[in-house]
Amino acid sequence: MKPEIGQIYEGKITSITNFGAFVTLPDGPDGMVHISEVSDGFVKDIHDVLEVGQTVKVKVITIADNGKIALSIKKAQDKPQRPERKDFKPQGQRPGNGAPRGSKKPQEFKTAPPTQIITSDGIWEETVSSDPNFEDMMSKFKKSSQDRMSDLKRGNESRGYSRRGHGGGRK
């Protein structure tokens, strides 16, 4: 009997390697179950899951031109159905799905709570933004970044350090 792709057979494991197990199918042909096709979960050591002489159900995945047969144990098993979720909504009823592209409402930003920022003078400022847009956020970031960089430069110059390990500009 010649095995057919997609059919499920019962076979016996004849040998096991680090990368898979060889299974003898009914009427003699051998196939290989790769370690990734043994279980739905991660299999670190195939010897922990399978043993020589064990009978397993396998599904024929492919048959190569040279006669090599690829098998799968995990595809031969019936998968249990997931319990239905109570909060599940069909695709058309979920917000943002099922509607034609471009018909979404523009994204609304929530106003940020007041934040405190320390300035280069060491003074705390409290900022409240009712409509944070990108340009405002970017200008605030640039200003605070420039302030921090100038503080760092001033601090390094006063200590006499440079990036090259020489005195900070003193000759």
Is the confidence at residue 155, as pLDDT, over 80?
Answer: no
One-letter amino acid identity for 92?
Answer: G
14-23, 103-112, 116-125, 134-143 — most confident range: 14-23
Confidence of residue 41 (pLDDT cuts 50, 70, 90): confident
Q: Is 102 left (phi over 0), alpha (psi -120 to 50) or beta?
A: left
How big is the chain by its Cα radius of gyration, in Å?
Answer: 33
Distance CA 130, CA 108 (A): 12
Quote the pLDDT of residue 39: 87
Distance CA 95, CA 82 (A): 23
Quote the pLDDT of residue 149: 85
For 40, residues 6+ apart whose C-beta sits below 8 A from its C-beta are 74
Is the confidence at residue 153, as pLDDT, over 70?
Answer: yes
Is the confidence at residue 32, as pLDDT, over 90?
Answer: yes
